Structure 1
Amino acid sequence: MELTHEFTVPADVATTFAAFSRVESMAECFPGAEVTSVDGDAFTGSVKIKLGPIALTFNGEGEFTEKELAADGSSGRMVLSAKGKDRRGNGTAGAEAVVVLAPGGDAADGPTTDVEVTTDLQIGGKVASMGRGLVQEVSDKMLGRFTDCLEKKLT
């Protein structure tokens, strides 16, 4: 299942890239997420998600498989791969997220960055039976909270 989200943050591309590179800081903005360890570009942690009547806690691992900031700081791209299992055995999830950063316009407060996140999500077990609509709805809500938090961190 492919999910695409686009949003704008109130910071230049280089600042936004640096923020996205700090896994612990980004996890604080992702509802239900907790990072338990970081080793270079790899990390482990958990995320709690409620999909309809099912509450899930995925324990897993992830890593940045690509991080590239243009030499002049005008654009950036990163690829994050993650996988996990629900601790109660209700499902599995794997994802590859491609984050593309591009200069936005200049706002009254300064430069902005347009962010596009394309996620290839694979789900299995009970969670797979919940349907794409519910998964999309939950991911949209989570991303809304994430972007609100990220905006506060970058201003």
Structure 2
Amino acid sequence: MELKSEFRVGIPVEQTWNTLTDVEFIAPCMPGAQLTEIDGDEFKGGVKIKVGPITAQYKGSARFVELDEANHRIVLEATGRDSRGAGNAAAEVTAQMTPDGDGTVVSITTDLKITGKVAQFGRGVMADVTEKLIGQFVSSLEEKLSQIGDQDDPGAEADDASADDAETTGEAAETPAESGPRQIEMAEPEPVDLLETAGRPLLKRILAPLAVVVFFLFNRRRRRKRRQG
């Protein structure tokens, strides 16, 4: 299924690019998500969701397949599997950033393929859930950005420190090459409650078949009473 969404952040497009391509910076802003490993343009992690008392955890990996800084376009591929083997998910996510005054509009198109219990909710519910989760993500992201203050981007302090070191030594600062994946220590996230997030659309999907069952049982009971009378 294809899902489309759009949001605006109150920072310039270049800073938005630097922020959204810094996976370690934005991961804590994503509801239910946990980043565990980064290896170049590939990273691993998981997402926790629940429907009422039932909790599911998807573990998987993602990678940037396109980083077009000139046009501010990102394409990301991600795959995940339910840790209990009850389903899997795959997605291709395209994000296009467009300047909007002193801010940036980010348009996201997600081509989602999902199996298992979550798949039965359908496109309507998934679109509603996606919209609300993105809203939570943007709120969390803007709160985090506001804490940076006058810092130009998440990596600005590190860049400034490297430049100061270079001036002191009179040589160009070089970042040591990392060998192998880098493990990320991130707090265990609270699962995303789909019932709470989806609200009425999901309740309608649950209550509609339940109403049919109740109606059937009620009529059956009435017929039984008539026979006995």
Counterpart of 1:76? 72
Q: Unaligned stretches of 5+ in structure 2? A: 147-229
Following superposition, the deviation at residue 54 of structure 1 comes to: 4.5
Summarize deviations over 1:48-107 as a string: whole Å, max 9, x none: 12356743210000001111112xxxx4000011000011222111011000001002xx
CA contact (8 A) 1:64 1:78 kept: yes
1:8 partnered with 2:8: yes
Aligned pairs, how many? Answer: 146
What CA distance in whole angstroms lies between the structure 2 residues aligned with 1:115 and 1:54? 33
For 1:2-151, what aligned pairs fall within 5 Å after superposition?
A: 2-51=2-51, 54-70=54-70, 75-105=71-101, 111-151=102-142
Structure 1: where are the runs of 5+ without partners?
106-110
Report the CA distance between 1:137 and its aligned residue.
2.0
- Structure ranking higher in helix proportion: 2
Whether contact under 8 Å (1:51, 1:135) holds in the other structure is: no
What amino acid is aligned across from residue 79 of structure 1 in structure 2? V
Normalized against structure 1, the TM-score is what?
A: 0.88
Moved more, 44-53 or 131-140: 44-53
Question: Normalising to structure 2: TM-score of the pair?
Answer: 0.61
Q: 1:17 to 1:80 in 2, by over 3 A?
A: same
Name the SS for the 2:115 alignment partner. strand
Percent identity for Structure 1 against Structure 2: 47
Q: Which has the larger radius of gyration?
A: 2
